[in-house]
Chain A
Amino acid sequence: MSAGQAVVAVRQLSKWYGQVCALNDLTVAIPAGVTGLLGPNGAGKSTLMKLITGQLRPSQGEVRVLGQAVWGNPDLFLRVGYCPEQDAFYEEMTGLAWVRMLAELSGLPAGEAETAARRALALLDLGDAAGRPIGSYSKGMRQRVKLAQAIAHEPDLLVLDEPLLGLDPLGRRAVMTLIRAWGRDGRSIIVSSHVLHEVEALTSTIVLIDRGRVLAEGDVHQIRALIDRRPHTVRIRAGNVRELASWLAADEGVRSVRFEQGAITVETAAPDALYARVTALAAEGRVADVTEVTSPDDNLQAVFRYLVEP
């Protein structure tokens, strides 16, 4: 993905808070469509989103959104919607009044803002609660009304910081359905999360960041290929694990074998060869009662862990 095609192009971006470096020389091009921004707490996801939405100014480097510089360019927000992470509201306002007011500030005439606010609230199952003060909303409703203000003016790019945080299953489903539908409509969405299966359910395009640096970006499958170069963990439960361990320990690629209750956990740089070897030993009858061959590396969580861990 070239920076020219990207909805968000970040080049050599650094952000310091005093002596603390939140983002360090980060370069990434986020394509159109739905992109998951993944990383543990403190990775720099929220800082990057605040830079993308012009809340923060880069200490160094450049952020361009939809081809334009962000800092000091409020007109850009005609096309951008932002759902921040913080649980902060004008508590005394009703959900409808709040979303309508922000829609008007986004450039919609008063009448259209009312319609747009009602539509956004209905999309997030808040139609019945629209006339209630936000202060009376549950945590999930607060999260959804925050999302409603981001979508009411129908922006081209949505930036959602942990939008699924605190949602109950129904709310989560409503939000995920909305994000997928917006993606299908050709809009772009950047959604951050530290819960990987949530993002996996939304998109296969991800950017992994940790400690202010991009660890990997692109399709999940491409990122999976990256970890093939790194040691895998395979857990094997069998009858004679001590013998099995002695055979496997001599194999090329095996780095360590750890004993557990009736099982061994093998760390190997050649997982395919290990699977073939175990299959062969079982077929030859040299290993009895192989009841489990599993790898915790088969999900996105493991991809993330592999890339984050030193």
Chain B
Amino acid sequence: MAPRTPPPPGRAVRLIFDLSLGRMLWSSRSLFTALLAAAPLVLALAGRVLSTGGVAFAGSSGPADGLTSFGVLIMLVYARFVVPVAAVVLGTSIMADEVEGRTLTYLFARPVPRWAVLAGKYLAYLVCTALLVLPTVTVLYFALVPLASVGATFGLLLADLLALALGIAVYGAVFALAGARLRRPVVFGFLFVFGWEQVALLLPGTVNRVTVAGYLEALIPHDPPGSSGLFGLGQLVGDKPGVPEAVLCLLVVHAVCLWLATLAVARREYVE
């Protein structure tokens, strides 16, 4: 007997999430993201082995202490590079993988609204990316920060994790929108991350407020190490937003991008 009521939206989202998470976790994109996220940890551990005082970074005056090293890695490597790249790689695939695999037809021929398909897949992206990135950050913290300092600095780790999680969510929403609207979302993603955002962060005034990175860095509770190099230059010329403004703006960007993505998915024809 055919069912005569569609699945409740929450159940539909859950089913799509279950379907998508397993596929996403075991994909080559996830393998790449895992290696990308683990690379700084491996380098830091290697540096620690080679250096008695901590990890030496280009542009710094000498070996930095563990917490400073951790902060630099969070700001320069994870917030600026790992999270955005992971979001490009995994976020743009939220719809694109199904389109390329020509399997979206099976989902769109069900009594399920298209926004539920996007929502389930976006949630899978969030969980997958968080699982690939955040545990590595935690391990990195314990690898670099002396045990005696953990009690006093653990709050910083939690703040970093929350900021990076928010970054994963917001970048994911931006690139989910790109994936829902564009034929080559990965190209757009890399241009956005390595083109627009890098340039905007170097420009004076409030241009950094039209980047995700600008707000994300405002949430990371580490002081920048000096003012040399590209990172320092950006900090000098940019007008850094406050934490409440950064959180609010990131949440607005997140909501708007997801809303636009649902509209795009509802209106777009994904088959030819």
A residues 88-109 with Cβ under 8 Å of B?
88-90, 92, 101-102, 104-108
CB pair B7–A105 under 8 Å, yes or no, is yes
CB nearest to A102 among chain B residues? B106
Q: How far is the CA of A235 from the CA of B128 in the complex (A)?
A: 69
Chain A residues with CB below 8 A from B12, complex form:
105
Chain A residues with CB below 8 A from B272, complex form:
17
Q: How far is the CB of A63 from chain B (nearest CB, A)?
A: 14
CB pair A105–B2 under 8 Å, yes or no, is no
Stretch touching chain A among B107-115, B150-158, B215-223, B233-241: B107-115
From B26, B103, B110, B266, give the contact of A105 (CB < 8 A): B110
Chain A residues with CB below 8 A from B148, complex form:
none
**Given that A88-B103, A92-B26 are contacting pairs, would A78 and B109 also be in contact in the complex, using a CB cutoff of 8 Å?**
no
CB nearest to B3 among chain A residues? A107
Q: How far is the CA of A62 from the CA of B101 in the complex (A)?
A: 29
Q: How far is the CB of A36 from chain B (nearest CB, A)?
A: 21
CB pair A74–B111 under 8 Å, yes or no, is yes
Chain B residues with CB below 8 A from A108, complex form:
3
Assess whether A25 is interfacial by the CB under 8 Å rule.
Answer: no
Q: How far is the CA of A265 from the CA of B102 in the complex (A)?
A: 48
Assess whether A86 is interfacial by the CB under 8 Å rule.
Answer: yes
CB pair B105–A86 under 8 Å, yes or no, is yes
Assess whether B49 is interfacial by the CB under 8 Å rule.
Answer: no
CB pair B5–A88 under 8 Å, yes or no, is no
Number of A-B contacts (CB under 8 A): 90
Q: How far is the CB of B147 from chain A (nearest CB, A)?
A: 42
CB pair B15–A105 under 8 Å, yes or no, is yes
Chain B residues with CB below 8 A from A75, complex form:
6, 111
**Given that A84-B105, A104-B7, A149-B106 are contacting pairs, would A74 and B1 also be in contact in the complex, using a CB cutoff of 8 Å?**
no
CB pair A90–B15 under 8 Å, yes or no, is no
Assess whether A76 is interfacial by the CB under 8 Å rule.
Answer: yes
CB pair A56–B110 under 8 Å, yes or no, is no
Interface of B is mostly: loop
Question: What are 6 A-B pairs with beta-carbon distances under 8 A?
Answer: A78-B4, A82-B109, A104-B11, A107-B4, A107-B111, A156-B2
**Given that A79-B2, A88-B102 are contacting pairs, would A50 and B271 also be in contact in the complex, using a CB cutoff of 8 Å?**
yes
Q: How far is the CA of A72 from the CA of B108 in the complex (A)?
A: 10
CB pair A102–B2 under 8 Å, yes or no, is no
CB nearest to A55 among chain B residues? B271
**Given that A80-B109, A102-B110, A106-B110 are contacting pairs, would A74 and B269 also be in contact in the complex, using a CB cutoff of 8 Å?**
no
CB pair A88–B2 under 8 Å, yes or no, is no
Interface of A is mostly: loop
Residue tally, chain A, CB below 8 Å to B: 35
Assess whether B29 is interfacial by the CB under 8 Å rule.
Answer: no
Assess whether B270 is interfacial by the CB under 8 Å rule.
Answer: yes
CB pair B15–A101 under 8 Å, yes or no, is yes
CB pair A78–B111 under 8 Å, yes or no, is yes
B residues 68-102 with Cβ under 8 Å of A?
101-102
Assess whether B162 is interfacial by the CB under 8 Å rule.
Answer: no
CB nearest to B107 among chain A residues? A105
From B18, B103, B108, B271, give the contact of A90 (CB < 8 A): B103
Q: How far is the CB of A22 from chain B (nearest CB, A)?
A: 9
Q: How far is the CA of A75 from the CA of B112 in the complex (A)?
A: 7
**Given that A72-B266, A105-B15, A153-B2 are contacting pairs, would A77 and B109 also be in contact in the complex, using a CB cutoff of 8 Å?**
yes
From B4, B6, B11, B271, give the contact of A56 (CB < 8 A): B271
Q: How far is the CB of A288 from chain B (nearest CB, A)?
A: 60
Assess whether B19 is interfacial by the CB under 8 Å rule.
Answer: yes
From B7, B101, B102, give the contact of A107 (CB < 8 A): B7
Q: How far is the CA of A189 from the CA of B162 in the complex (A)?
A: 53
Assess whether B184 is interfacial by the CB under 8 Å rule.
Answer: no
Chain B residues with CB below 8 A from A154, complex form:
1-2
A residues 4-47 with Cβ under 8 Å of B?
17
Q: How far is the CB of B108 from chain A (nearest CB, A)?
A: 6
Chain A residues with CB below 8 A from B108, complex form:
54-55, 74
A residues 119-174 with Cβ under 8 Å of B?
149, 153-156
Assess whether A188 is interfacial by the CB under 8 Å rule.
Answer: no
Assess whether A224 is interfacial by the CB under 8 Å rule.
Answer: no
Assess whether A193 is interfacial by the CB under 8 Å rule.
Answer: no
From B19, B102, B111, give the contact of A101 (CB < 8 A): B19
Chain A residues with CB below 8 A from B266, complex form:
72
CB nearest to A89 among chain B residues? B103
